[in-house]
Structure 1
């Protein structure tokens, strides 16, 4: 039996914690994150011959260093290197929720996008083409209702296939303005020399150009 780590990310009010509770049942506990006041819920579930430890990250709208919650969520994905990051998005407000998903996808390709509240979306006449969205994002997209446990069989199989290499994903690349891309091209090789392949050099270059001092402090602690 193998053990894998899953990070659970998403905006507030997307049903992220409902999904965490549905997946883990009573196999959960809370603890503070590395000297921060933010509590993280941890739990586990089993599927086939594998155990999956799941961390419910703070609900955030971004992964920039604007709050302790954002720093904790970002640092977990970046430094703990989870085997899968499940990004939970609200199927009734998909466009707004995809902002965080795209930020995660710039950091790691080991992502599954969970479109939650799909039953509510359908009641509102919203149709989501998960196959097309998956092709655009380069990662699996699974439609679920955490409250009713709809789509869980598909979700479990997708997680299993991703961690065992049966699904190929790619890091998502956002093309910025020519001026910014030029600066990224100049800075990224320098970043890569320092961090190697341990961390995403393009994403770090972007954050440095944005003046993210919190990230610099976090990197200094771990280098």
Structure 2
């Protein structure tokens, strides 16, 4: 039986851990990320005869890897390639939460947006058009209240449809300035030649143009590991002289 891997991501204080606990119950444990003091929680649950492993990533405000928490969250989504990344947003502070969502959508299109605390938002008179947001982002958007499991049936059925290919999503592309878009178009084909479809070439182009040295080191390490698994010598030379 296949076990599907789910990453749980989002800002701190969005109810992410409450959602994790509600989904996994007592089937969970914590441990440190390899080589880091960052603690992550892992759990499991079953739904419609499918097994799921869910990883509660550190709560972060961005994925720029300026801290160990951000680095762990970014690297897990980028290199571990979960079957689904559930991005938890606070319904009462949606705009503030959109920054990390857009960053994740540039890395992966395997995303379900989970708008939590919808009960609190409704009490404050806040109305969220989840359909309009889903149409704009090209990924499912589910409204829930993790503490009382409101919307859980919809969330679980959406996960099920997602992992079985019944929901098709697209990468969300942010339009940058004409100058930056020109530079992206110049280097993205070279990056694509190296990483193929394994990693998001457009996002990598933006990060390299931004001078993200930490990512260059992590990418080099990742590609070096892949080379040992069977890439040819030409690809190896091109990788490390780029």
TM-score under structure 2 length normalisation: 0.91
Question: Structure 2: 5+ residue runs without aligned partners?
Answer: 224-242
* SS of equivalent to 2:92: coil
Distance 2:74 2:133 in 1: 24
Question: d(CA) in 2 for partners of 1:30 and 1:51?
Answer: 19
Work out the CA distance in 2 between the residues paired with 1:209 and 1:37: 30
Indicate the structure whose relative CO is greater, using CA pairs within 8 Å and at least 6 residues apart. 1
Instruction: Return the alpha-carbon distance in structure 1 between the equivalents of residues 201 and 26 of structure 2.
Output: 39
Q: 1:60 — aligned with what? A: 60
Mean alpha-carbon deviation: is it higher for 193-202 or for 149-158? 193-202
Trace 1:179-190 onto structure 2 (pairs within 5 A). Answer: 179-190=179-190
What pairs with 1:71-90 in structure 2 (closer than 5 Å)? 71-90=71-90
Match of residue 140 from structure 1: 140
State the distance in 2 between where 1:33 and 1:216 align. 20
Structure ranking higher in helix proportion: 2
Cα deviation 1:131-167 (Å, max 9, x = unaligned): 1100000000000000111100000000000000001
TM-aligned CA deviation for residue 113 of structure 1? 0.2
How is 1:4-83 mapped onto 2 (pairs within 5 angstroms)?
4-83=4-83
Could you tell me how far apart the structure 1 residues matched to 2:52 and 2:98 are?
25
Q: CA deviation at 1:2?
A: 2.1
In 1, the alpha carbon distance for the partners of 2:49 and 2:80 equals: 23
Higher-Rg member (1/2): 2
Cα deviation 1:52-76 (Å, max 9, x = unaligned): 1000000000011211110100000
Equivalent residue number for residue 127 of structure 2 = 127
Q: Distance in 2 between matches of 1:156 and 1:147?
A: 15
Corresponding pairs, count: 223
For 1:191 and 1:3, the matched residues in 2 are separated by 31
Structure 1: 5+ residue runs without aligned partners?
A: none
Q: What is the TM-score normalised by the length of structure 1?
A: 0.99
Equivalent residues of 1:45, 1:52 under 8 A apart: yes
Query: Aligned ranges for residues 163-182 of structure 1 at < 5 Å?
Result: 163-182=163-182
Instruction: Write the distance in 2 (CA, Å) between the matches of 1:198 and 1:166.
Output: 22
1:196, distance to aligned residue in structure 2 (A): 1.5
Q: Point out 4+ residue stretches in structure 1 off by more than 2 angstroms.
A: none
Task: Report if aligned partners of 1:65, 1:212 keep a CA contact under 8 Å in 2.
Answer: no
Q: Residues 106 and 171 of structure 1 are in contact (CA less than 8 Å); yes or no, is this contact kept in structure 2?
A: yes
Alpha-carbon displacement from aligned partner over 1:33-69 (angstroms, at most 9, x marks no partner):
1211101100001001101100000000001121111
